[in-house]
Amino acid sequence: SDYSQDPPRHPCLRINSKQPFNAEPPRSALINSYVTPVDLFYKRNHGPIPIVDDIERYSVTISGLVEDPRKLSMKDIRMLPKYDVTATLQCAGNRRTAMSKTRKVKGVGWDVSAIGNGYMKLRKEGMESCTAVWGGAKLADVLALIGIPKLASSTKTGGRHVEFVSVDKCKEENGGPYKASIPLIQATNPEADVLLAYEMNGETLNRDHGYPLRVVVPGVIGARSVKWLDSINIIADECQGFFMQKDYKMFPPSVDWDNINWSTRRPQMDFPVQSAICSLEDVNVVRPGKVPVRGYAVSGGGRGIERVDVSVDGGKTWVEATRYQKIGTPYISDDASSDKWAWVLFEATVDVPNNTEIVAKAVC
Note the residues at the interface with Mo ion (CB under 5 A): 44, 91, 121, 222-223
Q: Which residue is nearest to Mo ion (CB)?
A: 91
In degrees, rounded to 5, the angle at the alpha carbon of residue 40 between the alpha carbons of residues 49 and 9 is: 45
Nearer of residues 155 and 225 to ligand MTE, judged by Cβ = 225
Find out whether 120 and 271 touch, Cβ atoms under 8 Å: yes
Range 295-329 burial, b when 16+ CB lie within 10 A, else e: bbbbbbbbebbeebbbbbeeeeebeebebbbeeee
Q: How far is the CB of 94 from Mo ion (least distance, A)?
A: 8
Chain CA centroid to CA 345, Å: 17
Q: How far is the CB of 121 from ligand MTE (least distance, A)?
A: 4
Name the binder of 160 from ligand MTE, Mo ion, none, CB < 5-8 A by kind: none
**What region, left, alpha or beta, does residue 301 occupy, with left being phi > 0 and alpha being psi -120 to 50 degrees?**
left
Find out whether 143 and 72 touch, Cβ atoms under 8 Å: no
Name the binder of 226 from Mo ion, ligand MTE, none, CB < 5-8 A by kind: ligand MTE
Find out whether 294 and 31 touch, Cβ atoms under 8 Å: yes
Query: Regarding beta strands 89-91 and 120-121, do their DSSP bridges make them parallel or antiparallel, or are they unpaired?
Result: parallel
Alpha-carbon distance of 41 to 85, in angstroms, equals 16
Query: Regarding beta strands 120-121 and 70-73, do their DSSP bridges make them parallel or antiparallel, or are they unpaired?
Result: unpaired
Name the binder of 249 from Mo ion, ligand MTE, none, CB < 5-8 A by kind: none
Name the binder of 211 from ligand MTE, Mo ion, none, CB < 5-8 A by kind: none
Q: Which residue is nearest to ligand MTE (CB)?
A: 222
Name the binder of 227 from Mo ion, ligand MTE, none, CB < 5-8 A by kind: ligand MTE
Name the binder of 143 from ligand MTE, Mo ion, none, CB < 5-8 A by kind: none
Nearer of residues 66 and 167 to ligand MTE, judged by Cβ = 167
Footprint on this chain of ligand MTE (rule: CB under 6 A) = 41-46, 89, 91, 119, 121, 128, 166, 168, 178, 209, 222-223, 225-228
Nearer of residues 46 and 96 to ligand MTE, judged by Cβ = 46
Nearer of residues 196 and 352 to ligand MTE, judged by Cβ = 196
Nearer of residues 107 and 136 to Mo ion, judged by Cβ = 107
Nearer of residues 128 and 141 to ligand MTE, judged by Cβ = 128
Cβ count within 10 A of residue 351: 10
Q: How far is the CB of 223 from Mo ion (least distance, A)?
A: 4
Phi, psi angles (nearest 5°) of residue 79 = -70, -25
Nearer of residues 226 and 234 to ligand MTE, judged by Cβ = 226
Name the binder of 139 from ligand MTE, Mo ion, none, CB < 5-8 A by kind: none
3-state secondary structure 48-91: CCCCCCCCCCCEEEEEECCCCCEEEEHHHHHHCCEEEEEEEEEE
